Amino acid sequence: MCVMNKKNIDIELSGDVLSYRSEENIIPFVEKLKCLLNELNIYWYLVLIGNYLIGSNNKTKKIIKTLAKADKRIKPIIKPKKGMMGWDVRKGLATDGKYICVIEGDVQYSIESVIECYKRIKKGNLDLVKTYRIKRYDGIYRHKFKTKNINS
């Protein structure tokens, strides 16, 4: 189990995790991210963005609520969707962290990239750092969605 150092009182880093349709996969993702953030020895918190489509039987919002109840450093944002990824990102940007990192909880990006981005933004006195993927490992859901959008 990871333990946070509570010496810092200001929120240094807010990690916004886009969790749409993540279900149980978000649990180990969050646990690993918490451990990595603890190694930074800063005060941080996570915003788990579990917005959902009305009528969906997806379990993500329930799982996120459970994670937030178990850890006061986790803030859930769970609303009926009125857009897709960009809308979700905007919902999570209302945070108090000096720095904000946004990552998708679908393991498309390495969790360690959050730490690398934080270190780069601090070292370079930068305003923004963004990751990108060299290779995509999309599941069948995303391939169907892209095909549907291209042919529409």
**In the chain, which stretches have pLDDT less than 50?**
1-8, 144-152
Q: What is the pLDDT of residue 26?
A: 95
Q: What is the pLDDT of residue 84?
A: 82
Q: What is the pLDDT of residue 68?
A: 97
- Could you tell me the pTM of the whole model? 0.78
In a domain, 105, yes or no: yes
In a domain, 4, yes or no: no
Residue 39, H or E segment: helix 26-39
In a domain, 1, yes or no: no
In a domain, 6, yes or no: no
User: E-assigned strands of 1-152?
Assistant: 13-18, 44-49, 74-77, 99-104
Q: What is the pLDDT of residue 34?
A: 96
Closest by CA to 104, choosing from 87, 82, 94, 89, is 89
In a domain, 2, yes or no: no
Q: Find the domain containing 70 and state its range.
A: 13-151
Chain centroid to CA 98: how far? 16
In a domain, 3, yes or no: no
In a domain, 23, yes or no: yes
Q: How many domains does the chain have?
A: 1
In a domain, 27, yes or no: yes
Distance CA 135, CA 143 (A): 14
